């Protein structure tokens, strides 16, 4: 039996299949991939119907989930022999050796569970350029010409911004996106290499330190999701805040 796995992030879709050759279903292309899936236990309790998938660590999209799971829900639909089999949302992704384990909840639990609580942290809880962050990526983009990119370390001549400006940001080329682990001068270290040694125009977006000052630099203080003035010491202890 063949299975197809469709991940949807907003309007962007990523399809994978456990077959040797690519497959097209409902106009969507599914690329071959080694996939391990946990068994589905059919019970009357929807909360006990999760599914776990394991993908190779070389899968760039799945790797991006493990490195930085988006704030907005990622829907997953599983088809068995081209027939709808299961629907849910991605709740976590973690790297285990050469595999990436993706944990998913049934869609019904996402609809019926209690509301999620806001994180109470000193720094911003939002993911940069997400819907809740609301920073417009296009307003902060910088474009550069590059030769063939053959590894996760990329030299982008022409960068005039100081080291660290693009750290934790995003690099895009030919429709593919990678996280920027760090920037030192004109050298970028990406979360993983682009596929196919692309060349041409690379678009870079700066990162954010998630502090109040960093949010102000993006002119986005109204959407700052942190609590910068929380006392470090517990005011209810005997010494108070002294």
Burial bucket for residue 14 (CB in 10 Å: 0-12, 13-18, 19+): buried
* Rounded Cα distance, 90 and 125, in Å: 19
Residues of the chain with pLDDT > 70, as a percent, come to 89
Strand blocks (E) in 12-130: 12-17, 23-25, 28-32, 36-37, 51-56, 75-80, 83-96, 99-106
The strand pairing partners of 3, in sequence order, are 80
State the CB neighbour count (10 A cutoff) for residue 34.
12
- Model pLDDT for residues 88-134, shown as the tens digit of each residue: 899 889 998 899 999 998 865 555 444 455 667 889 988 898 888 99
pTM higher than 0.75, yes or no?
no
The pLDDT score that the predictor gives to residue 241 is 59
Contacts of 227 (CB under 8 A, 6+ apart): 120, 121, 122
């Amino acid at each position: 039996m063949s299975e197809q796995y469709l991940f949807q992030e907003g309007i962007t879709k990523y399809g994978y299949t456990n077959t040797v050759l690519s497959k097209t279903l409902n106009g969507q292309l599914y690329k071959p991939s080694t996939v391990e899936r946990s068994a589905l236990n059919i019970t009357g309790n929807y909360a006990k119907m999760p599914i776990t998938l394991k993908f190779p660590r070389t899968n760039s999209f799945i790797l991006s989930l493990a490195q930085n799971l988006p704030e907005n829900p990622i829907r997953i639909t599983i088809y068995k022999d081209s027939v709808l089999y299961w629907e849910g949302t991605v709740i976590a992704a973690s790297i285990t050796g050469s595999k990436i384990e993706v944990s998913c909840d049934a869609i019904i639990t996402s609809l019926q569970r209690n509301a999620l609580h806001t994180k109470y942290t000193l720094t911003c809880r939002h993911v940069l350029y997400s819907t809740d962050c609301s920073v417009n990526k296009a307003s902060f983009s910088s474009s550069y010409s590059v030769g063939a990119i053959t590894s996760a370390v990329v030299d982008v001549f022409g960068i005039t911004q100081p080291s660290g400006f693009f750290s934790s940001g995003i690099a895009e080329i030919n429709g593919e996106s990678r996280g920027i682990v760090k920037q030192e001068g004109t050298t970028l270290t990406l979360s993983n290499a682009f596929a196919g040694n692309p060349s041409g125009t690379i678009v870079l977006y700066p990162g954010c330190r998630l502090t109040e000052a960093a949010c102000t630099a993006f002119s986005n203080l109204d959407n700052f999701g942190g609590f910068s003035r929380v006392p470090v010491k517990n005011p209810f202890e005997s010494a108070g805040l002294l």
